[in-house]
A and B are shown apart, each in its own frame.
Chain A
Amino acid sequence: MNDAASVVMLIVSLTLIKATPLIYAALAGVISERSGVINIGLEGMMVAGAFTAVAVSGPTGSVVLGIIAGIIAGALFGLFLGILATKFRVDQIVAGTGINLIAIGGAAFALVLVFGQPGASKEVPSLEGASWILIALAFASAAGLHGLLYYTPWGLRVRACGENPHAVAAAGLNPLRTRIIAVTIGGALAGLGGAYLSVGELNLYSDGMVAGRGFIALAAVIFGRWTPFGATGAAIFFGLFEALQFALQRSGIPNEAMQALPYIAALVALAGLTGRVRAPAADGVPY
């Protein structure tokens, strides 16, 4: 009985831990796509956030500064994607993929510059026991984004941009600026999700540590029907499978199969949704 209860507790807490970076990234995807920009670059923004947080936390000794730097790094990549996707009308899939490659390659290179070693950073000051703050903040962010999108004038503008940017222009507003700001905010959220991975859950950066979470978050956006709460729920669902992977490590199931669980869950969830969800009408369509 006690054993069962502690296993459940373990799975719940692991789920929250594993879901948190996904929640941030999924919220980033929601705000970006509701404005009409598909954000394939979530993975790269998470990488940028994760690495920058470590690179600043190490030398300065301040994890708070590290996290802020991670948010800024993500936001800058968001701004970059936003400008490419609007002012320059670059194909959003190509631009996002480019951001992923730049961030992943750039972090691997900068590791050597900052820490003098490839593969992984040295250990840096991290949140340790205080990492629950970022977990709580993830849920608060979901509520905040919900309020922003559905109750404020700017949120209405974002949603209109994702459905028909021409209507926004007809109302005398600038849809390009709205999109750029939305994607930048998304970048900041994804950067925070990355920072949580490196200095919240762990205390170092290593190549490949984001491990496709940016893409799972994209699935969570769709699974959550482009709403903040829906995407959060989907992120928790995928986090659960990641947690199960740890909880069932000694169950005899091959480890590789267990590691594939979250990805399989994402695929199955998406396949089951085909034709039953509706993306914002102008999602991915340049204005």
Chain B
Amino acid sequence: MAVDGVDLDLYAGEIHALVGENGAGKSTLANIAFGTVKPDAGTVQASGTIGLVHQHFELVGRLRVWQNILLGREPRRGLVIDAAGAKARVLQLASDNGLEIDPDAFVEDLPIGIQQRVELLRELQREPSVLLLDEPTAALAPAEIASFFTTITHLAERGTAIMIVTHKLQEVISYSVRTSVMRHGKIVGSMLTASTTLDDIAREMVGGEIPAVADRAPTTPRPCLSVRDFSAGSGSNRVTEVSFDVQGGEIVGVAGVEGNGQSPLADALAGVATYTGTLTISSSKKRPGVIPQDRHREALVMPWSIVENAILGRQHDPGVQKGALLDRKVARADAESIVERLDVRAASVDVPIKTLSGGNQQKVVVGRALLGEPDLVLAYQPTRGIDVGAAALVQSRLMEARNAGAAVLLVSFELDEILTLADRILVLYRGNIVGTFDRAEIDRAQIGRLMAGSK
């Protein structure tokens, strides 16, 4: 059961944070409150209407901002839409809420942060007394997050009851009045945020101690990956003549806001996109271990079993292939070793991978990338959208691969993840490396500024 016997009160004028691991039932609860999911039992009552800002925005990219915001509520003149009146209404709504928006822009042309503003305005024009926000900062840059909370705090001050569904505890501590923690479909704790700490909330979420990431061991660097004058991608999301090295026994973290060239860089290094420049890999292994960004699209075949997914991409390797056929025994042994090493929770290795939780699916992806102890590991958002326990496990395995001498290139939009793991940090901004930091000289504020494009 996704949500089981929950009681929750939201108060006008307060920001209430609903936290919990992936799969704890937070989004389901928000959708029940909003009305898109019908509860088996129980009631939802609100003194007014309820609005919901979705985690994955429900917008129409090829329509204009005003069309998205006023869809279903267009001002009319006779039979037709009063476009001028609609734009004026959107501008008024935006300025009432201290937001800036171009009503005529096409939504697909806007950055993620502005798209979220459109979704927010769409909900606000119905003047909800309760506003639910599902993972509102998941796709935002640090600067956008701050401005987002300014808006939300302002809304709360004017009497809206706000619930933020999130797993980012730092934001909970900084901005919420109350915090409720969900675990396995139940609310296991509700408290005033001021009277608690980040660590307490985290423990409540996980239901115990937070697993630590494996320790960093001393290593002997040796050349592994060398990139010179490397360009890839097109349009605004590209890298331009970047040069860097990743040594065996170190994790190099690429920090940056999404869309600054990470995807073309990672794709070209993984061999699935073209590039110019030189790429030298000194490795005794046939290929690097690759953890792609999007496990659904690039890493797994959802209806297939763990066994079948375990050999995906390795089907011609000696061992896996025997004559013209696949060696099912080897495939099964590989799958079982992944399950054991990454602590994958599954009934058996033969179940379709889509029946696993996101965290367990990601563990299979990571386990497969680390099979055969690759000299080079390319990890792109390795803990995206997975729970704290699974994330710590994945990060530990990457650290252990590094300790064993592998070169690890970590591309992540979560600066905290890079700060935890990396021996060296490269900051990517508009396709250029604008800063390099050794672990000893990390300056979080300076990295944040470089990510945003200032000096």
Interface residues of A (CB under 8 A from B): 147, 151-153, 156-157, 159-160, 163-164, 166-173, 280-281
Which residues of A lie under 8 Å from residue B80 when comparing CB positions? 147, 151-152
Whether A160 lies near B61 (C-beta < 8 A) is no
Which residues of B lie under 8 Å from residue A164 when comparing CB positions? 58-61
A159 CA to B81 CA, complexed, in Å: 14
From A147, A152, A166, A173, B72 is in contact (CB under 8 Å) with A173
Question: Which of B63-71, B141-149, B221-229 makes up part of the contact surface?
Answer: B63-71
Which residues of B lie under 8 Å from residue A172 when comparing CB positions? 72
Whether A156 lies near B63 (C-beta < 8 A) is yes
B74 at the A interface (CB under 8 A) = yes
Which residues of B lie under 8 Å from residue A171 when comparing CB positions? 71-73, 122
Whether B67 lies near A153 (C-beta < 8 A) is no
41-65 of chain B: CB within 8 A of chain A: 52, 54, 58-63
Whether B61 lies near A281 (C-beta < 8 A) is yes
Shortest distance in angstroms between B129's beta carbon and chain A's nearest beta carbon? 16
Would you list the 8 A-B pairs with minimal beta carbon distance, nearest first? A170-B58, A171-B72, A151-B80, A171-B71, A167-B58, A163-B60, A153-B74, A173-B72
Interchain residue pairs with CB less than 8 A apart (9)? A147-B80, A151-B80, A153-B72, A156-B81, A163-B61, A164-B59, A164-B61, A166-B58, A170-B52
Which residues of B lie under 8 Å from residue A280 when comparing CB positions? 62
290-332 of chain B: CB within 8 A of chain A: none
Q: Smallest CB-CB separation from B79: which chain A residue?
A: A152
A168 CA to B58 CA, complexed, in Å: 8
Whether A170 lies near B54 (C-beta < 8 A) is yes
Which residues of A lie under 8 Å from residue B52 when comparing CB positions? 170
Whether A160 lies near B58 (C-beta < 8 A) is no
Which residues of B lie under 8 Å from residue A168 when comparing CB positions? 71-72
From B54, B62, B72, A163 is in contact (CB under 8 Å) with B62
B76 at the A interface (CB under 8 A) = yes
Which residues of A lie under 8 Å from residue B67 when comparing CB positions? 156, 160
Whether B62 lies near A169 (C-beta < 8 A) is no
Whether A160 lies near B81 (C-beta < 8 A) is no
Whether A167 lies near B68 (C-beta < 8 A) is yes
A280 CA to B62 CA, complexed, in Å: 9
Interface residues of B (CB under 8 A from A): 36, 52, 54, 58-63, 67-68, 71-74, 76, 79-81, 122
A285 CA to B95 CA, complexed, in Å: 37
Which residues of B lie under 8 Å from residue A159 when comparing CB positions? 60, 62-63
Whether A153 lies near B81 (C-beta < 8 A) is yes
A171 CA to B60 CA, complexed, in Å: 11
Q: Smallest CB-CB separation from B72: which chain A residue?
A: A171
Which residues of A lie under 8 Å from residue B81 when comparing CB positions? 151-153, 156
A153 CA to B72 CA, complexed, in Å: 7
Whether A167 lies near B74 (C-beta < 8 A) is no
Which residues of A lie under 8 Å from residue B122 when comparing CB positions? 170-171
Whether B63 lies near A157 (C-beta < 8 A) is no
Which residues of B lie under 8 Å from residue A147 when comparing CB positions? 80
Which residues of A lie under 8 Å from residue B71 when comparing CB positions? 156-157, 160, 167-168, 171, 173
Which residues of B lie under 8 Å from residue A173 when comparing CB positions? 71-72
Which residues of B lie under 8 Å from residue A163 when comparing CB positions? 60-63
Which residues of B lie under 8 Å from residue A281 when comparing CB positions? 61-62
Which residues of A lie under 8 Å from residue B72 when comparing CB positions? 153, 157, 168, 171-173
A243 CA to B392 CA, complexed, in Å: 71
A171 CA to B63 CA, complexed, in Å: 14
A153 CA to B67 CA, complexed, in Å: 10
From B58, B68, B76, A169 is in contact (CB under 8 Å) with B58
From B36, B60, B73, B79, A160 is in contact (CB under 8 Å) with B60
Shortest distance in angstroms between A149's beta carbon and chain B's nearest beta carbon? 11
Whether A156 lies near B74 (C-beta < 8 A) is yes
Which residues of A lie under 8 Å from residue B58 when comparing CB positions? 164, 166-167, 169-170
From A151, A152, A167, B60 is in contact (CB under 8 Å) with A167
A172 CA to B49 CA, complexed, in Å: 12
Which residues of B lie under 8 Å from residue A160 when comparing CB positions? 60, 63, 67, 71
A164 CA to B68 CA, complexed, in Å: 11
A159 CA to B72 CA, complexed, in Å: 12
Shortest distance in angstroms between B83's beta carbon and chain A's nearest beta carbon? 8
Shortest distance in angstroms between A42's beta carbon and chain B's nearest beta carbon? 24
Shortest distance in angstroms between A278's beta carbon and chain B's nearest beta carbon? 8
A196 CA to B58 CA, complexed, in Å: 42
A119 CA to B73 CA, complexed, in Å: 52
